[in-house]
Amino acid sequence: MALENLISVSFSEQELNQFDEHLKGIQAILEKKVVNLTPDQRRQYGRIANQNKLIVNKAKDYMEQYPEWMPSFIDKVEFDKDYKTREQVEGRAQKLENLSRQLIDTKTLLDHDNYTNALSFYRMVRYLAGENQAGAKSVYEDMKVLFQRVSTTDNSDNPTKQE
């Protein structure tokens, strides 16, 4: 019985080259404009939730209606620049996030197909080694080590399996 192939997709060299060139172009545009926060910084600054976006939007509306109420320490030009750029970045980040998720999901199915087939191959080689097929024993011995699990002991002295 043939195994279920969950996905069948391929890319031509031309498509991969185009993809890579587009990625280089995106990287070049973003190179001096984006930041890479540390995990601590991400925790410190967090993400603005939808409720907080509503607060920002409402404050912006009122800042425009009542400019005389602006505190002197707020640079409205910089606020507006940050606001506009955030809007520009948000939609594009969502598109890239969606594309990234699709690529990862596609890779997941490809990995599953490859792993399932590799297991079937290994089982066949194990069978052939048991039947003394020429060369199968050395292939089986070489692959067998990849399937060995290390037993360790946890605090309760019960053996556990680890991958």
- pLDDT, tens digit, for every residue of 41-73? 999 998 888 899 999 999 999 999 999 999 999
Residue 12 lies in a domain: no
3-state secondary structure of 9: coil
Span 74-98, average pLDDT: 96
pLDDT in tens, 124-135: 999 999 999 999
**Burial letters 134-156, b for 16+ CB under 10 A, else e:** eebeebbeeeeeeeeeeeeeeee
What was the pLDDT predicted at 87?
94
Residue 100 lies in a domain: yes
What was the pLDDT predicted at 100?
97
The torsion angle over the Cα atoms of residues 71, 76, 82 and 83, rounded to 10 degrees, is 90
The torsion angle over the Cα atoms of residues 16, 22, 28 and 33, rounded to 10 degrees, is -120
Span 114-123, average pLDDT: 96
Element (H, E) at 67: none
Residue 25 lies in a domain: no
Residue 138 lies in a domain: yes
What was the pLDDT predicted at 47?
87
Residue 72 lies in a domain: yes
Residue 115 lies in a domain: yes
What was the pLDDT predicted at 40?
95
Residue 38 lies in a domain: yes
Q: Domain of 134?
A: 34-162
pLDDT in tens, 103-117: 999 999 999 999 999
Residue 141 lies in a domain: yes
- Total count of domains within the chain: 1
